[in-house]
C-alpha cells in the first residue's frame, strides 16, 4: 500500500504484561502528508495508531498534531486505539532536556497532553524523546513518566485507562539512559524503532530494517541485535 504512513515500527516488543499481551499492530500516522489522510487508513489491519506529532517547546507549550475528527471516529468504530505522539526526530534532544529539567515546564506539558486527549477523545500518549543523553535526562524522564501516569490515574474516566507508550531505540547509542527497570511500572508498552539501520551515514549499503544480520559487516544493524541489547540492558538494570 504505497505511501501508507511515513513511519512504521516494524517490531514491537512488550516488556511487561507479556503473558496477557495480544498481537499489537501499530503504525504512525503523520499529520503533514496531505495526500494521505485518515480516510485511507486500513483500520481493520491495525490495533493502535500513533498520531504524529505533538511538538513541545522548552516551556512545555505544544503545537500539533492537526486534529481530524474522522480519525478518532473511524478508529474507535474499528476497535483501534489512537495515541498522540509527543516529540519525534524534529524535536531536538536538548529541547527535551531543558523541558524535563524544569518542573513547571514538565507539568505544563503533562497538562497539555491531558487536555488534548480529554478534548479530542484520544486513548493515551506515545513519548518519543530522541534520545536521553545522560543520567540527568534519565532521572528527569523517570519523574516525567511517573507524574504523567499519576495525572491520568487521578483524573476522571476515561483518563485512568489511557495508555502510555514510549518509542525507544535498540542500541547503546540511544538506549543506555532509558531506565526500563523503573519505567516498566508506568509504561504500558515500548515501540522499538527498528528502522534507519543504514543510510547516507553508513560506509556500506544495507537493509533499512534488517531482521537478521546476514552478511552485513555491521553486527548491530539488525532487529535481532536490537532486541538482544534491550533484553541484556533490562537484565542489567534489574541486577543493579
User: pLDDT at position 216, please?
Assistant: 77
Domains, the chain, in order of start with CATH, read 11-239 (3.20.20.80)
- Tell me the per-residue pLDDT of 44-54, one tens digit each, with 9 for 90 and over: 999 999 999 99
User: pLDDT at position 233, please?
Assistant: 57
User: pLDDT at position 206, please?
Assistant: 80
Residue 80 cell numbers, joined: 483501534
Contacts for 47 with CB less than 8 Å, ≥ 6 apart: 22, 23, 24, 25, 26, 79, 80, 81
User: pLDDT at position 1, please?
Assistant: 41
User: pLDDT at position 133, please?
Assistant: 95
User: pLDDT at position 215, please?
Assistant: 83
User: pLDDT at position 174, please?
Assistant: 75
Name the β-bridge partners of 18.
none
218 close to 227: Cβ distance less than 8 angstroms:
no
96 close to 129: Cβ distance less than 8 angstroms:
yes
Residues of the chain short of pLDDT 70, as ranges, are: 1-22, 172-173, 196-197, 223, 226, 229-240
Distances (CA, A) of 182 to 31, 141, 160, 208, 209: 32, 10, 20, 31, 28
The pTM of the full predicted model, rounded to 2 decimals, is 0.83
Alpha carbons 35 and 42: distance in angstroms, whole number: 15
**Phi/psi of residue 112, each to 5°?**
-65, -40
N- to C-terminal Cα separation, the chain = 46
User: pLDDT at position 130, please?
Assistant: 94
Half-sphere exposure (CA, 13 Å, Cβ side) for 24? Answer: 24
Residue at grid coordinates 538506549: 175
Amino acid at each position: 500500500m504505497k505511501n501508507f504512513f511515513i513511519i512504521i515500527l516494524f517490531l514491537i516488543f512488550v516488556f511487561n504484561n507479556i503473558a496477557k499481551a495480544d498481537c499489537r499492530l501499530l503504525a504512525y500516522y503523520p499529520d503533514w502528508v496531505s495526500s494521505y489522510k485518515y480516510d485511507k487508513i486500513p483500520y481493520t489491519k491495525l490495533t493502535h495508531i500513533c498520531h504524529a506529532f505533538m511538538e513541545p517547546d522548552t516551556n512545555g507549550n505544544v503545537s500539533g498534531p492537526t486534529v481530524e475528527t474522522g480519525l478518532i471516529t473511524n478508529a474507535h468504530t474499528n476497535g483501534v486505539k489512537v495515541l498522540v505522539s509527543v516529540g519525534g526526530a524534529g524535536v531536538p534532544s536538548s529541547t527535551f532536556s531543558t523541558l524535563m529539567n524544569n518542573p513547571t515546564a514538565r507539568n505544563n506539558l503533562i497538562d497539555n497532553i491531558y487536555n488534548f486527549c480529554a478534548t479530542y477523545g484520544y486513548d493515551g500518549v506515545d513519548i518519543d524523546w530522541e534520545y536521553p543523553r545522560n543520567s540527568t535526562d534519565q532521572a528527569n524522564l523517570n519523574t516525567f513518566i511517573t507524574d504523567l501516569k499519576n495525572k491520568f490515574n487521578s483524573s476522571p474516566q476515561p483518563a485512568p485507562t489511557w495508555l502510555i507508550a514510549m518509542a525507544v531505540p535498540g542500541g547503546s547509542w540511544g538506549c543506555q539512559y532509558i531506565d526500563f527497570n523503573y519505567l516498566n511500572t508506568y509504561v504500558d508498552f515500548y515501540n522499538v524503532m527498528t528502522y534507519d539501520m543504514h543510510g547516507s551515514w553508513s560506509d556500506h549499503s544495507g537493509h533499512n530494517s534488517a531482521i537478521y544480520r546476514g552478511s552485513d559487516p555491521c553486527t548491530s544493524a539488525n532487529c535481532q541485535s536490537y532486541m538482544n541489547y534491550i533484553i541484556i540492558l533490562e537484565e542489567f538494570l534489574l541486577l543493579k
